[in-house]
Amino acid sequence: MKLGRISLVVIALIGLTAYLSLFTVLEVKQAIVLQFGDPKKVITEPGLNFKIPFIQNVVFIENRILDIDAPAAEIIASDQKRLVVDAYIKFRITDVLSFYKTLGNENVARSRISTIVNSRIRSVLGEQPLNMVLSEERSPLMKQITSEVNDEVKNYGIYIEDVRIKRADLPAANSQAIYRRMQTEREREAKEFRAQGAEIAQTIRSTADKEVTILKAQAEKKANITRGEGDGTASAIFAKAFQTDPEFFDFYRAMQAYTESLKNDDTTMILSPESDFFRYFGNAQGKPLN
């Protein structure tokens, strides 16, 4: 019974020792074996490994490409235009031992890399005009920034794969000023368009009025000619009628004169009954009264 208990204790100790001595390095990780905080071994290949329990411990470090969203940085372009830039960085740890000795962990690495990248962004983009920073020609500038950042972090056991600008905006105050300037410009253009429209409308109205005046004048001229021709024809007809029967024509004209003179009910005429105007009242032939 006692021997069985001892066996169980021995087995438990062996199991505990194995548990504390063995560790697995995954494919996406690298490892450093530390002895009292001092690096003793670097493991870059995946698999099962051994360490001395209670004396050694293991620190795992990423083997994958990591990314960082750098805090926004405000830059001043060479033309004194301000711009707020958000960048993202992709990096990987190439030298685990140098990384651990200089930075210790990913959080410190991210902070240090962000500071360096923002500094390089300000220095490189600050030498360019704003339109260059916002155009497709920005790609060579980002390659230059990536190269300069790599020069600064090479002693940290880090390699910067890429640096890209995620977003580039104007500062809030500048955005409002630009918005007001754009609004003023659009209002000025609208006034110009309205003035041009009014000028074109006035030209059209003037042309239309001129054409109406010309058409009226031409119509009046044609009407006058037609009336003149009609009057001439009427006069010729009257003359011909007069020549055919002068007495009837004289009688007809006298009747027209009576109609025009006496067409109103309140017409008052003071004339001698023996006047020539009333010659047909007393004599059907229109002979003067004796």
Strands (DSSP E) found in the chain: 22-25, 29-35, 38-43, 47-50, 56-62, 66-69, 73-76, 82-93, 158-169
Would you state the pLDDT for residue 172?
A: 61
CB count, 10 Å around CB of 100? 19
What does the pLDDT look like over 199-246, one tens digit per residue? 888 888 888 888 888 888 888 888 888 888 888 887 777 777 767 766
Would you state the pLDDT for residue 91?
A: 93
Would you state the pLDDT for residue 173?
A: 56
pLDDT band of 137, cuts 50, 70, 90: confident
Q: How far is CA 5 from the centre of its chain?
A: 83
Would you state the pLDDT for residue 159?
A: 94
CB count, 10 Å around CB of 77? 18
What does the pLDDT look like over 142-179, one tens digit per residue? 888 899 999 999 899 999 999 888 877 766 655 565 56
66-170 CATH:
3.30.479.30
Mean pLDDT, the chain, whole residue set: 79
Would you state the pLDDT for residue 123?
A: 86
pLDDT of 285 above 60? no
pLDDT of 90 above 90? yes
Nearest CA among 6, 132, 20 for reference residue 77: 132
Per domain, the residue ranges of the chain are 8-62, 66-170, 240-282
Would you state the pLDDT for residue 269?
A: 63
Q: ∠177-178-181 over CA atoms, to 5°?
A: 90
Would you state the pLDDT for residue 39?
A: 86
Would you state the pLDDT for residue 61?
A: 87
| Cα distance between the two ends of the chain | 188
Mean pLDDT score, 179-194: 80
Would you state the pLDDT for residue 112?
A: 92
Would you state the pLDDT for residue 182?
A: 74
What does the pLDDT look like over 10-40, one tens digit per residue? 666 666 665 677 888 888 888 888 888 888 8
| Percent of the chain residues past pLDDT 70, beyond the cut | 74
For residues 36 and 134, the model is more confident at 36
